[in-house]
Structure 1
Amino acid sequence: MNKLFEMRERLECNKTIDKVAYEQFKKERDYWKEVIFRIIVLVKFLAKHGLAFRGSNEKLYQHSNGNFLGLVEMLEEFDPIMKEHVRRIMSDELHVHYLGHNIQNELIQLLSHHVKTEIIKKIKQAKYYFIILDCTPDTRFLVVDDTTGKGLFEVTSKKLESLGLDINDMRGQGYENGANMKGKHS
């Protein structure tokens, strides 16, 4: 019984070993939240301005390491959170630092999903919409095996349906590099 009362008294006074460990955990958790927040801001900045993220090197303070790491280096000069983060990386205290290309790609995908969701919401509010198909082979948003007019229509209508957009609300369409759309058979 004495141990139970003793433990209750320590819990009420917040004088337990768990309390110290929990405070350390909270401090580290808050640190990582701040680091991730700054990384997201950097990714948003580069994406918004259409700038390349990576160079030919993925190491801090190395030649040709790209815009993302360059911005991390710049931010480190002014921001105490990033200064501590870079210090931990450079002194090999961290092996997971969230500055590599995988986290950049993941954040780009998350942000693009959010942007796409907002665009779809605005289209649904407006009801009517117009689409433009850019049929270039270098960048693909949709994989198209059949580039005839019929094939493009099938892929487009499936995509519109998957986005919850009614094809009957489409009021216009345009084609870039759509030479395959001309002719009486396609």
Structure 2
Amino acid sequence: MATWKDLQLNLQSGKTIDQAERTLLEAEKRCWRDVLTRLISIIQSLAGRNLAFRGSSKTLHQQNNGNFLKEVELLAKFDPVMKHHTECVESGQFSHSSYLGNIIQNELIASISGKIMDTVVTEIKQSKFYSVNLDCTPDASCQEQMSVIIRTVKMDKAPEIKEHFMGVLVASETTGLGLLSLILKELMELNIPFDDCRGQSYDNGANMKGRNKGVQPRLS
């Protein structure tokens, strides 16, 4: 017990023999946090303007390497953290990921998207009642997709109507029953009770507004 207590005191006062390694480790952790903070800001900037991330090249300082890497190059001209990071990438100092590749971009986008979705769902639940706006259209590969928008009234100092784009759902079945199951499953996964839905809006497709078998009469 005395030995453990001495170790605890030495760790707190920074007098252990591995203190130098611990200091280097903490410095590296701070460095990677700083890099990730800047990369997340770049992702937010590109996504907020609906710009494409990647090009035909995946290398820094190459033509057509996409908006993401171009933003990294621009930031490296003025920011010492990103400048040091890009220099390490180009000199091959990293034996692991440099956090500039396609996979980490997708992971960061998914993480940010998940956090935004959690915030949106919380706001919808605070408003309690909502309406849904559904619209189906095929993409270039003729795969039917359904966009989902939820409209709420935010009761703050003054009532504010807000619309939240919840995403695009791929519809394997384009029948009224198939689309009905799809939207109910999505609401269940988001933990948004359909009992609080007070309005519905659709396009003019028969599978949506059909009098007998469309989504609208089935949900009503």
- Report the TM range for the smaller structure's normalisation: 0.7 to 0.9
Count of residue pairs the alignment pairs up: 179
Any idea what the Cα deviations from partners look like across 1:132-162, whole Å, max 9, x if unmatched?
Answer: 1121232563232221222211221222122
Determine the structure 1 residue equivalent to 2:29.
29
Determine the structure 1 residue equivalent to 2:126.
125
Deviation, 1:185, is 4.2
**C-alpha separation in 2, matches of 1:99 and 1:177:** 44
Distance 1:114 1:15, change over 3 A: closer
Residue 82 in 1 paired to residue 82 in 2? yes
Unaligned 5+ runs, structure 1: none
Matches within 5 A, 1:143-158: 143-158=170-185
**C-alpha separation in 1, matches of 2:209 and 2:15:** 79
Q: Assess if the C-alpha contact under 8 Å between 2:202 and 2:209 holds in 1.
A: no
Instruction: Note the aligned Cα RMSD (angstroms).
Output: 2.2
Determine the structure 1 residue equivalent to 2:103.
102
Determine the structure 1 residue equivalent to 2:158.
none
Greater relative contact order: 1 or 2 (C-alpha under 8 angstroms, separation 6 or more)?
1
Q: 60-69 or 152-161, which moves further after superposition?
A: 152-161
Q: 58-67 or 128-137, which moves further after superposition?
A: 128-137
Deviation, 1:17, is 3.3
Unaligned 5+ runs, structure 2: 140-144, 147-167, 214-220
- When normalised by structure 2's length, the TM-score is 0.74
Determine the structure 2 residue equivalent to 1:163.
190
Structure richer in strand, relative to its length: 2
Any idea what the Cα deviations from partners look like across 1:72-130, whole Å, max 9, x if unmatched?
Answer: 00000000000000000011101410001111111111111111111111111111111
**C-alpha separation in 1, matches of 2:39 and 2:48:** 14
**C-alpha separation in 2, matches of 1:93 and 1:177:** 58
Deviation, 1:25, is 1.1
Name the SS for the 2:198 alignment partner: strand
Q: Assess if the C-alpha contact under 8 Å between 2:61 and 2:73 holds in 1.
A: yes
**C-alpha separation in 2, matches of 1:142 and 1:82:** 37
Name the SS for the 1:71 alignment partner: helix
